[in-house]
Structure 1
């Protein structure tokens, strides 16, 4: 029997009492999740809305006047009233014009009879060509005089050229009217035009954008809106206000007219169609690769815990940069999350945990 020296006996006893060593599974280093900052992938907001004070204006405003002179015998111009196209608004004494028509009609008849007589003689060789020419000329002159007198007679009545609102009455009955004197001012209200003033800054910021929608609301009329269509805008700024006038139109409501001068508010949404559906991520989420392409680290949560998961590098196409956000496409979808801080420290399939600020 081999005897151990008495000096080594205590060490043998200690080793014997320790038991079997740990298994390999117990000796493995436990994996940990790296805290990362995640940001959602959002649908890019490609629109911007503005509200402008507006005023209802007429489609057009015209002044009516007589093209002949005379004394007013009829005036039906009630300011603020709507009139239909063809309504008689005013007339002047037609007696001298009717007399002129009768006179010219008689002269024309006489010239026609004379022409017929000369033509008969000319065919028989009893009248020279000169007499025939004079008779034809006189016939044409009297014809023109008759047509002019009939036209002047029609000018003694002033009728509405379109469905209109009588804005102003500029004369009274029994006044003597000179040709060209304005009688009334009419406004075309077949549609409601809304006019707004847009600052130079707003116009310049949206020069490449389209008007996606425009809606008007009338001051004092709750829950009543009017969809608008763009008509036109001025290209020269007002020298005082440095604003541009923009005009929209709306159909007149069936229960009444939007008369010029009414105050309103116009809500306009502008944007571009070609970027519709693009996505936004924080600028810090982009990683520049060795080939100068771009990628992001997409977060894939586990089924057990939505705050824990892995990250995966996906290539993306980069678009416009707006502030701290960038437009991207491909690789990610809306409502997903990407790493938005420390992207250079990420590795494929790395275990991560979403950081939540307290």
Structure 2
């Protein structure tokens, strides 16, 4: 290889490495500048398009992110990382499940290692489950290569898939192994809580959920997250836009917006990732119940599908969760959780 080509490739690698380093530091503007410098050197660099797609996704610009992932795949049809990034975005938050499965089928044809196969397969299992095809999901999970895997996170991802398929024994082994690591993520501990809840080991479930709530509180907000004051205005506008039947039931109630549920309510059994909590306070002299509606910004943001359409998404989430609360069975106590399943 000639010296000029070596120097050119070194500059490409330096800009890409710097871009990913800045992503890990949370400097998305600086990372984008490095990625764009890479494209200036080589307009057909799939690595640069993959990096730019990742930055756009982190900023909530999902359409641009997907476009750059597609360009990376067009430039290198075996580019596994770009395919997995695109599929993850298509599954959540975009919900384009058929396209995600098509991309993952292409990815599985390019997989070289057991880790690669497992990584692509658990994403496809997620997409199949969201499509309601539990049989196909279970069959795919059954065919995974046996571990151990180099990527320790796969224990959790495969364990979570087993849990969602109600394969509790298999889920227990993998989720417990993932939770035993000192660097276990809040997602791992959340699923440990779900597992213990399913096993009716209530004390252990509460402890896992309290740890989840603590670690969730340490995570940075997404770059597109609005200020507390702006989010309060978004919530107020969304509540005003609810159907009349719901607005009447909330009339006169105290609306409170905070980041996350307090540790004290999580200890009492409230889901640490519930987006809303309607708290029955007291009965007035006229016999009416007075309530406080708590809206949890960080948990709402976890469910947002289109960050650039935040107002519409918040309104949809509030509508769905309040409908579920008011239509709950009469023998189900209020103020614990809004959905029949905890928040994934």
TM-score category, normalised to shorter length: under 0.3
Q: Point out the structure with max Rg over C-alpha.
A: 1
More contact order relative to length (CA 8 Å, sep ≥ 6): 1
TM-score, scaled to structure 1: 0.14
TM-score, scaled to structure 2: 0.14
